[in-house]
Structures are given as C-alpha cells and as structure tokens.
Amino acid sequence: MDNMIYIIKRIGMAFLTLLMISFVVFFIIQLPPGDFVDSMVTDMVAQGETVTEQDIANLKAMYRMDRPFLVQYFDWLKGILTGNWGISFYYNQGVLVKIKETLGATLMVSFLTLGVTYIVAIPIAIYSAKNQYSLGDYLFTFLGFVGMAVPNFLLAILLMYLSFKWTGRPIMGLFIDGGITDWASLLEFLKRLIIPITVISLNEACGLIRRIRAQMLDEQEKPYVLCIRAKGTSERTITFKYQMRAILNPIVSGLGGMIAGVFNGSTITAIVLMLPTQGPILLKALQTQDVYLSGGILLISATLVVIGTLISDLLLAALDPRIKLLEEIK
C-alpha cells in the first residue's frame, strides 16, 4: 500500500513535468520570427504569383496561425492528447505518421546503444577499480579521455572514412533495400549498426566508467570490506556480492541522464551517417520551420527521458529503501 502511494505520487509528478515540458516545447517552436505561411508566401512570390493580404490572412486562418499564443497552445495540447499531432507542412503528412516511420529505428538504436554501454562499461569499471594504477587501468582511462574529447560526430565521420578505406564503400544508412530476408542481409544490417552504436555509446560509456570506478574505489576503503576480507571471504565474493550492491546506485540513478545522452549522440550521429532515425528529420523540420513536426519530435524525446528518469527513480527506491524514507521525511 505504502509502495503504491509512492509509485502513484511519482507518476503524477512525471505527468506534471510532461505538461510543463509540452509548454516549453510549444514556446520554443513558436520562437522563430515568421511562420510556415510566411515562408510559403515568399516562395509563391518568388515563383511569380501575386499574393494579396487577403490570401495571406486566409492561409493563416487555414493553418490556424492567426490566433493568440495560449489558444494555439491548448489546441495543440488537445491534439496531442487525442492523437492528432498536426500536419507536417514540409512532408505534407501527419506528424504522427512521420514520427512513427522513424520511431522504431530510433528506439532500436537507442536501446541497443544503452545495452552495449552498460555491458561494456560495468566490467571495465570494475576491472579498473580492482586493478587501480595497472596498465589496463591506465589504458582505459586514456581511452576514456579520448572518447570524451573527440566530438562524436567527428568520430562517426572518421570511422566512416576508415570503413570506406577498408571496404571500398562508405557504410551509410541502416536498413538494406528489400529488408532482412536471409542471413546475409542480417549480417549486413548488423555491420551497419557497428559504427553508430560504437560512436553513440562511447561518450556515455566513458562517463559511466568514471562514475562506477570512483564509487568502487570509495567502497574499497570502507570498514565493512576490511571486515569481510579479514574473515577470509574471497575477493570475488567481496566484489560481486557486497560491493556490487553499492555500485548499483550510480548505475540506476544515471539512467535518465543516459537516455538523454544517447538522444544527444544519436541525433547528430544520425545526421552525419544518414540513419533513418529522428535526428535528420528534426534538422530538416527546424530548417524549414515545420513547427508541428519539430515540436512532436522534441516532445517525444523529452518524454522518453522523463520515463527513463521515472523508471530509475522507482528502481532506486526499490533497491535502496533509504531513498524513499528520506523523501517521506521531507
């Protein structure tokens, strides 16, 4: 019962955050001076058509751009809640249709990246902490700094260049024409995943390794470790049974931030590598002032981060009862 109240409270807070996010998103997409009709009119004039004031007013009424900001916002919000996300002016399609086209690929790349990041980062961090100042520790620290310092879009270009040099053609895109039908096409598809996942996970993995390593090193000094070591417990048991519990905290609490980071990385990497995810579409939408499309994509990515944070908060409370208690006291 107690737990249910906590969960419901958390979900309610997440909804409140989402509501505020939707307002910020709408505010931002309305920021640019002029709107889609203005750029359409400029195009029409450039093509030699005569456009009267009345035409512009009609167009604005047709696209519902002549009303006050708040009215437009609530209209938009109502549409979002009822599944009508507006029309993408540039693609001349429903925003939801356009987003659905890329959402699958976006989610797949994001979750694969998250998985790879955790699978790679946790063992490396534990190894580095357990063998502090060893050759391996220095090597991973050095790699971590390189991964941090090189902008990931450039890493993507460099890897693409190397793949071009080795295989004779640049590996771009994600899906093969004709879809995955046999083993050969599956292999090709997996090959194309290597570069984006390496690039996007590298940045996140570097940060995660540093955090877990620091936490693990802190644990090494704690009296309880000394105590169980003195009792003759094997180092393996100390690491995996006792210290693992302590490092679960930074792993779980970083989930929301990690999802945000993966979106950051995948947006720009996808633009460079021309992946069929939301990055390139967002850029195009922003460039053409396709406000409902860019707003929809921004909203989706922020929502996923909020969900990630929610999950990590709930997991954290389940793993570490002290956290829930602290909040109740507050």
Partner 1 sequence: MSLGHMKRSIRKTNPDKERARQEKYYTASQWSLMWRKLIKHRLALISFIILAILYTGAIFAGFLAPYGLGDFSGSYSNAPPSKIRFVHEGEFIGPFVYPYEIAYDEFWTKVFVENTETPYPIRFFVKGSPYKILGLIESNVHLFGVDNSNLQPGKDDVRVMLFGADQLGRDLFSRILIGSQVSLTVPLLGTAISFVLAVIIGGISGYYGGIVDTVIQRIIEVLSSFPTLPLWMALSAAIPPGISVTQVFIAITIIMSLLSWPRLARTVRSRFLSLREEDFVLAARLAGVSDFKIIIKHLVPGFMSYLIVNLTLGIPNMILGETAMSFLGLGMRAPATSWGVLLQETQSVSNIANHPWKLIPVLFVGISVLAFNFLGDGLRDAADPYK
Give the distance, in angstroms, between the CA of residue 89 and the centroid of all CA atoms in the same chain: 25
Closer Cβ to partner 1, 24 or 97, answer by number:
24
Q: Does 135 bind partner 1 (CB under 8 A)?
A: no
Determine which residue in the list 254, 301, 312, 317 makes contact with partner 1, applying CB under 8 A. 301
Vertex 77: Cα angle to 72 and 81 (nearest 5): 150
The site that binds partner 1 (CB under 8 A) totals a number of residues, namely 49
Q: Does 208 bind partner 1 (CB under 8 A)?
A: no
Q: Does 28 bind partner 1 (CB under 8 A)?
A: yes
Closer Cβ to partner 1, 8 or 24, answer by number:
24
Closer Cβ to partner 1, 156 or 238, answer by number:
156
- Separation in Å, CA 117 to CA 107, 114, 121, 308: 15, 5, 6, 15
The interface with partner 1 within residues 165-184 (CB under 8 A) comprises 165, 170
Amino acid identity, position 54: Q
Q: Does 323 bind partner 1 (CB under 8 A)?
A: no
Vertex 101: Cα angle to 98 and 105 (nearest 5): 135
Residue 35 DSSP one-character state:
-
How large is the angle between the packed helices 53-62 and 36-46, nearest 10 degrees?
A: 140
Q: Does 161 bind partner 1 (CB under 8 A)?
A: yes
Residue 152 CB neighbours (<10 A): 22
Determine which residue in the list 149, 177, 221, 223 makes contact with partner 1, applying CB under 8 A. 149
Minimum CB separation of residue 192 from partner 1 in Å reads: 15
Closer Cβ to partner 1, 253 or 294, answer by number:
294
Which run of H or of E encompasses 225? Answer: helix 223-230
> What is the total residue count of the chain?
330
Q: Under 8 Å CB-to-CB from 169, ≥6 apart: which residues? A: none
Distance CA 263, CA 258 (A): 9
Q: Does 270 bind partner 1 (CB under 8 A)?
A: no
Which range of residues in 24-32, 43-51, 91-99, 313-321 is near partner 1 by CB under 8 A? 24-32
Minimum CB separation of residue 202 from partner 1 in Å reads: 13
Tell how many helices (H) and how many strands (E) occur in the chain.
15, 2
Greatest CA separation found in the chain?
90
Which range of residues in 12-20, 50-58, 311-319, 320-328 is near partner 1 by CB under 8 A? 12-20
Q: Footprint of partner 1 on this chain (CB under 8 A)?
A: 16-17, 20-21, 24, 28-29, 31-33, 145-146, 148-151, 153-154, 157-158, 160-161, 164-165, 170, 256, 259-261, 263-265, 267-268, 271-272, 282-283, 286-287, 289, 294, 297-298, 301-302, 305-306, 309
